[in-house]
Structure 1
Amino acid sequence: MRWDNLTLTAEEAARLPGYRDDAVVRRFDAPEALDIRFYEVHARSALNRVPPQSRMPFRWTINPYRGCTHACVYCLDGETPILMGDGSTRRLAELRVGDQIYGTRLEGRHRRYVRTEVLAHWSTIKPAYRVTLADGTTLVASGDHRFLTNRGWKHVTPTGRGEGQRPHLTRNDRLLGIGQFATGPVEDDDYRRGYVCGIVRGDGSLGVCEYERPGRSHGRVHRFRLALKDPEALARAQRFISAAGIATDEFLFAAAAGARAEIRAVRTQRRAGVEEIAALIAWPLDASESWAKGFLAGIFDAEGSCSGGALRISNGDPAIIAWTEACLRRLGFPFVTEPAQANGVRAIRVTGGLVQRLRFFHTCEPAIVRKRELDGVALKSAGGRCVVSVEPLGLAMRLYDITTGTEDFIANGVVSHNCFARPTHRYLDFGPGRDFEREIVVKVNAPEVVRIELARPSWRGEHVALGTNTDPYQWVEGRYKLMPGIWEAMRDARNPCSVLTKSPLLLRDLPLMRELAAVTDFTASLSIPTLDEKAWRATEPHTPHPRARLEAVAELNRNGIPTGVLIAPLMPGINDAPEQVESLLAAAEEAGAVSIGGIALHLRGDVRGVFMDWLRGARPDLVPRYERLYARGAYAPRAERARLSALVRGRGRRPSRWRLRPPDPRPVDAAPARSTGSRQEALPRLAPGAEGARQEPLPRLAGGAAGARQEPLPRQSAASAGARRGAPAAARPVRRLARNGVQQALF
């Protein structure tokens, strides 16, 4: 080994918590070891116990190293949505120190939602469990994690038997919170058109004024104006209008005075611009679900309120009320329409309490933050949040944790203690982030301790899993050579065991593994991201070459060691073509892989820049696709992840000996499924005389000159539109659903 000629020098001594003797601190003069310190310790035990009451396929692990020099980028979890301080959600893996989120605080007899700050954020690898609630909410956490129930804080799994057990989740425990969050909208053309329609019809001014001038031709003024005091809504409206190719100017509409906030506005007085906005806000004949979400977001920003625990949308226009009702009904929201007031204004109130309020905010995503505040709202225990199962996923996953000012946070709708997979480095007074990769604890006496522990009369010969927390074959194993002694101890004790690694270094110990497999059950698994070398270097630069890992799989299986493959990451347009995946699957099959799994590409932190830079140089044609897929963060949309996962699963085409990993646990949308056999509703009726018309007369201008006459904008013909600017919105063909010769709306 190239390590043999290196000079090792003890630089200093350090006392680590939990260890009786000082640790010898060393550095190695090798490229991989720069800026890394190794703490050589003598451990008193090596077998780490997993909760004995769990249903994991193993109850014991061995980790000769604490910390990992692989510094891998891609994770197996981090998808849990967290309730942010502005009422939106964000994936747990994407939180950052300083972010404002919601936690809870006990005030008197009630626990209430309060905003708090993320004080720390880290990740680690631990065996994972899936907690499923009666309403379909799913949560993936370590066995040590705690959730708030109607009986207090409880861990996911127990630690002992009888009276020694810690409080843990059991069936029918009720978790506190509203349950799973809804999936947010996709910002496509329909959503943008719907939002502009809602906010302009609710709060805008649009029309044509014609003035009579004695002795002169009539004066005609085209005008559009949208004035709002909330900058978030104004900025979104202007951005969406600009995306349709319409230029507007922003200006100060009213200065701040006393308690009155400043009001800014956008406008255009170009005839073409006003006509295009009129076409943009026209009622559609086949409004899609995305348009409905955008319209509700826009009309809520314009005319909505959320006070006293009630979400209302008020307006005096019968057409707007009818469309709001239709959109709410389309998306499955319960509501009541209140009687009209003396001025003709009617209010639509969404019922269902906080559950439906948050579902509205997350499904439609209105822009105004102040209307989404939850501060002081009491936390209630509602039906449907009962635990129905706690299941081991059968694998170790990278799980995330944060520390908050309230010591809790809202994870997928339920109250969670801030202890998602707390890294073991915390107990050594190391940080859970960079320290986990740069401060490596080496249990130099692990082989001897393992042998002693396996020989104890109390040891029952249970399965032991290696690599469930840190990789036992990370490159520093080439120097310390701890694994041969551990395998020898396992062989002599005839103890069943397994190993998970990214490194073909385990082939060094193949003779010992063959001896081990001859006397007991032994399996191995290697992670292989891709056969594309450039993609591998961009995603896992500190790990061994993928082909070397694939060769290790083949060599292990040729020698009778059952070995599986994990394909990660799968990258859209790079290694997800059917022929590419098939070639990798075929290679794994040829290598004799006994299991296979796949994970979609994650782009977190600095890796995003590295990967995108590589993409711009190697595949510039894919840059727009990746910018769209990862516009909302580090993870691809759920549909894309499902597509990639299906490529690996093969939909049953693989031989039965291929044991596929469990489906990726993801929270499902809270919106109820729409029956395909239900009768479609007709479009809401427009103003009298406008039935069947594609566009109603424009709203009258506010504050026009005395005696001014207003008229609807003339409908634009397709020919004139095409001649002026290609194919503006008004000239686009209208999508219709034809059934038995009758055109029907999709509502």
Structure 2
Amino acid sequence: MRWEAQELAVTDGAALPGLQRLSGLVRSVRTPEFEGITFHEVTSKSALNKVPEASHVPFRWTVNPYRGCSHACTYCLSGYAPITMADGSTVPLARVRPGDQVLGTRAEGLSRRLVRTQVLDHWRTSKPAFRLELDGGTSIVASGDHRFLTADGWKHVAPAAEGEPPRPSLTTRDRLVGLRRGVVGAAVRADDALTVSYVRPMDVELPMFDLTTGTGDFIAHGVVSHNCFARNTHTYLDLDAGDDFNRQVIVKVNVADVLRREVSRRSWSREHVAMGTNTDPYQRAEGRYRLMPGVIEALAGSGTPFSILTKGTLLRRDLPLLRRAAEDVQVGVGVSLALLDETLHRSVEPGTPTPKARLELVRSVREAGLPCTVLLAPILPGLTDSEEHLSALVAAVADAGATGISYIPLHLRPGAREWYLDWLESTRPDLLPLYRRLYHRGSYSDQRYRDWLRARVEPHLRRYRLRDDDAEPMVDDRRRPLHGRRWGPRVTPEPTPAEPAQDALF
């Protein structure tokens, strides 16, 4: 197979917005084997990524050899947009940097209040500009893809382009949600002075910027503004957020060398490193670039425990290497599997290995003598949470020899929420009332549903002795590992009396 390389001096029209100026860009390549996909090879300055405390995940370090490009709403606002910082001052968006503390919001019951949040990333490109005028005199320049929080929920500045799925967009008389006092703890609310008076295209392309923050939003021009969370929605949903994520892939070609230097430092404390929690390290591109063998060798050689979560069957290639690594460090392997239904799989997880292929991967991992936890995620209300489906799914995972099971109900964070509900409306509109009830307070399902789901899943896990809490911890601190570790043989389920049928609560 011949890969087509482009010279550095040549501008690639298919490259990610702004990527031509990306520091460390080596080349952009295409191949007939990956039709429609452009791989942007970069040299990375760092490999270990520290997870922000606000993320509340059970690990502090990750390594991501690959990074998909962001959702279309990533680059949103003019660089002059005033961003409200955590101390109440304002800074132009173009000057905000990762690590800065800004104000975001958090839902508390029926209200939403200001909280401190950290800027995790900062982005730039050029896009067609729109001017948004508010009754109180505020003038905002943004892209049509940008979203603001209104009294009726998140809305884009402009409708979808012709031929694209419809999306909520601003109209005159929409009231935006904004702040009255830039103080942590203060409530934000819709205000008459923030009523949209008009939205018009400016017929010009301008530089645009956006942020990724810990809360998923920030305050721009005094109103609540949606930020870039496209990459995170892939983690929570295990779904594509848009064509760009599939068609534009950033490859950190030197990740193993950089990682080897970082973990050899005397200051490195050999904490657990989790991989696959953001982008899948065994996506199809790994077959070409073969970055993971070097990553595994670097971690194992330094005595660093690690875990891998994937839905990619390409992991089978590295099982001998993982087995050798497990002789020196604690190694956890997790396979993500959300459902068994092939038709539903093709709809919500196109382009990924089939459920059958992933179950075979679990068998291969166990036959190699390695532990393998299966992450049932996301469990989709009304689609994959029935007694029949969960019983069959857990039984299939147990039969494949998994050493533990974790499960997560669907999260609908900003960005994921709009994408998923649009998909649901086109495929199962009868379920929309259910989702409005379950997610009326924010990104997470109603606590009653989570309790109901736990009561439905746990008996199956106990039957097969697959509760992930029973697995041996992989790290000796208070942070519970993502993937459990248990080295025992396959468990044969003990027969248990049939339980009475439980009526659905939702």
Q: TM-score, normalised by structure 1?
A: 0.39
Check the 8 A contact 2:272/2:306 in 1, yes or no.
Answer: yes
Report the Cα distance in structure 2 between the residues aligned to 1:627 and 1:51, rounded to whole angstroms.
Answer: 33
Question: How far, CA to CA, are the matches of 2:88 and 2:303 in structure 1?
Answer: 56
Distance 1:68 1:472, change over 3 A: farther
Counterparts of 2:175 and 2:425, CA distance in 1: 34
Ranges in structure 2 where 5+ consecutive residues have no aligned partner: 12-18, 94-104, 121-151, 153-171, 188-212, 233-240, 471-478, 480-506
| Structure 1 residue 540 displacement after superposition | 0.7
Aligned equivalent of 1:593:
403
Partner Cα distance (2:394, 2:460) in 1:
13
Q: Distance in 2 between matches of 1:609 and 1:374?
A: 23
SS of aligned partner of 1:462: coil
Rounded to whole Å, the distance in 2 between the matches of 1:55 and 1:403 is: 19
Shift of 1:484: 1.3
Matching residue within 406, 424, 446 for 2:221: 406
2:29 aligned with 1:29: no
CA distance in 1, matches of 2:215, 2:434: 23
Assess if the C-alpha contact under 8 Å between 2:44 and 2:258 holds in 1. yes
- CA positional deviation for 1:467: 1.6
Cα distance, 1:595 vs structure 2? 2.8
Asked if the contact 2:50/2:62 (under 8 Å) is kept, the reply is yes
The equivalent of 2:3 in structure 1 is 8
Separation in 2, partners of 1:376, 1:48 = 33
Contact map agreement 1:484 1:512 (CA 8 A) in 2: yes
Following superposition, the deviation at residue 597 of structure 1 comes to: 0.3
CA distance in 2, matches of 1:373, 1:483: 46
Cα distance change, pair 465–29 in 1 and its aligned pair in 2 (3 A):
same
1:662-673 aligned at under 5 Å gives the runs none
Aligned to 2:497: none
Contact 1:597 1:660 in 2 (8 A): no
The Cα shift of 1:23 comes to 1.8
Which residues of 2 match residues 2-81 of structure 1 at below 5 A? 6-13=1-8, 19-20=23-24, 22-30=25-33, 33-50=34-51, 57-67=58-68
Which letter does structure 2 place at the counterpart of 1:452? R
Q: Secondary structure at the match of 2:335?
A: strand
Superposition deviation, residue 375 in structure 1: 8.1
Shift of 1:650: 3.7
State how far apart, in whole Å, the 1-side matches of 2:432 and 2:292 are.
Answer: 43
Cα offset, 1:628, TM superposition? 3.8
Report the counterpart of residue 203 of structure 2 in structure 1. none
What is the CA–CA distance in structure 1 between the aligned matches of 2:423 and 2:227, rounded to whole Å? 31
Answer yes or no: is the 8 Å Cα contact 1:595–1:659 preserved in 2. Answer: yes
Equivalent position of 1:535 in the other structure: 344
After superposition, the Cα gap between the structure-2 partners of 1:634 and 1:54, relative to the gap in structure 1 and judged at 3 Å, is: closer
Which letter does structure 2 place at the counterpart of 1:593? T
Deviation of residue 483 (structure 1)?
Answer: 0.8
SS of structure 1 residue aligned to 2:260: helix
Write the distance in 2 (CA, Å) between the matches of 1:646 and 1:438: 40
Deviations for 1:18-73, whole angstroms, at most 9, x for unmatched residues?
Answer: 634x421101112xx3332111122233222335899854332211112179x9xx
Cα deviation 1:427-454 (Å, max 9, x = unaligned): xxxxx96544432111112222222332
Partner of 1:741: none
Aligned 8 A contact 1:571 1:601 in 2: no
Give 3-state SS (helix, strand or coil) of 2:326's partner.
helix
Deviations 1:97-156 (CA, angstroms, capped at 9, x unpaired) = 89xxxx9989xx999xxxxxxx9xxxxxxxxxxx999x88999xxxxxxx856xxx5549
Equivalent pair of 1:400/1:421 in contact (CA under 8 Å): no
Contact 1:487 1:513 in 2 (8 A): yes
Out of 411, 433, 451, which is 2:260 matched to? 451
In structure 2, what is the Cα distance between the partners aligned to 1:17 and 1:632?
Answer: 45
Shift of 1:10: 0.5
Aligned residue number for residue 335 of structure 2 = 526
Paired residue for 1:552?
361
Q: 1:626 aligns with which of 419, 431, 435?
A: 431
- Identify if the C-alpha distance between structure 1 residues 624 and 540 changes in structure 2 by more than 3 Å, giving closer, same or farther: closer
Q: How does 1:176-195 map to 2 (within 5 A)?
A: none
Structure scoring higher RCO (CA < 8 A, sep ≥ 6) equals 1
Aligned length: 354
Residue 579 (structure 1) aligned with residue 394 (structure 2)? no
Aligned positions of 1:229-378 closer than 5 A:
none
C-alpha distance in structure 2 between counterparts of 1:453 and 1:380, whole Å: 39
Task: Tell me the CA shift for residue 512 of structure 1.
Answer: 0.5
Output one character per residue of 1:641-660: Cα deviation in whole Å (capped at 9) or x when no partner.
Answer: 65445433449845665126
Cα gap change, 1:519 to 1:533, in 2 (>3 Å): same
Residues 12 and 26, structure 1, Cα contact 8 Å, conserved in 2: no
1:55 and 1:501, CA in 2 relative to 1: closer, same or farther beyond 3 A? same
Q: Distance in 2 between matches of 1:408 and 1:627?
A: 28
Change (3 A) 1:155 1:490: closer
| Amino acid aligned to 1:39 | H
Q: 1:418 to 1:534 in 2, by over 3 A?
A: closer
Q: 1:153-209: per-residue Cα shift (whole Å, max 9, x none)?
A: 55499xxxxxxxxxxxxxxxxxxxxxxxxxx9xxxxxxxxxxxxxxxxxxxxxxxxx
After superposition, give the CA deviation of every residue in 1:247-274 in whole Å (9 maximum; x if it has no partner): xxxxxxxxxxxxxxxxxxxxxxxxxxxx
**What's the CA shift for 1:461?**
2.3
* 1:333-732 aligned within 5 A: 401-402=216-217, 405-406=220-221, 409=224, 435-571=244-380, 574-590=383-399, 591-600=401-410, 625-630=430-435, 638=446, 643-650=452-459, 653-654=462-463, 658-659=467-468
Contact 2:372 2:404 in 1 (8 A): yes
Counterparts of residues 136-215 of structure 1 (less than 5 Å): 148=114, 153=116, 155=118
Aligned counterparts of 1:557 and 1:611: Cα–Cα separation in 2: 36
Task: Quote the RMSD (CA, aligned, Å).
Answer: 5.2
Pair 555,624 (structure 1): closer, same or farther in 2 beyond 3 Å: same
Contact 2:275 2:306 in 1 (8 A): yes
Letter in 1 for 2:268: W
Q: Which amino acid aligns with 1:474?
A: Q
- Do the aligned partners of residues 525 and 400 (structure 1) sit closer, same or farther apart at CA in structure 2, a change above 3 Å counting? farther
**Identity rate, percent:** 34
Q: Deviation at 1:561? A: 2.0
TM-score normalised per structure 2: 0.55
Change (3 A) 1:601 1:445: closer
Q: 1:582/1:559 Cα in 2 relative to 1: closer, same or farther (>3 Å)?
A: same
C-alpha spacing 1:611/1:625, structure 2 compared with 1 (3 Å): closer
Check whether the contact 1:400–1:420 (CA below 8 A) recurs between aligned residues.
no
Q: 1:11 to 1:154 in 2, by over 3 A?
A: closer
Distance 1:625 1:644, change over 3 A: farther
Cα separation, 2, equivalents of 1:583 and 1:476: 32
Equivalent residues of 1:526, 1:565 under 8 A apart: yes
Q: Deviations over 1:482-537 (max 9, x none)?
A: 11121122232232111111212111100011111121111021211211100100
The 3-state SS of whatever aligns with 1:441 is strand
Cα gap change, 1:637 to 1:29, in 2 (>3 Å) = same
Q: Which has the larger radius of gyration?
A: 1
Give the residue type in structure 2 aligned to 1:406.
H
Partner of 2:132: none
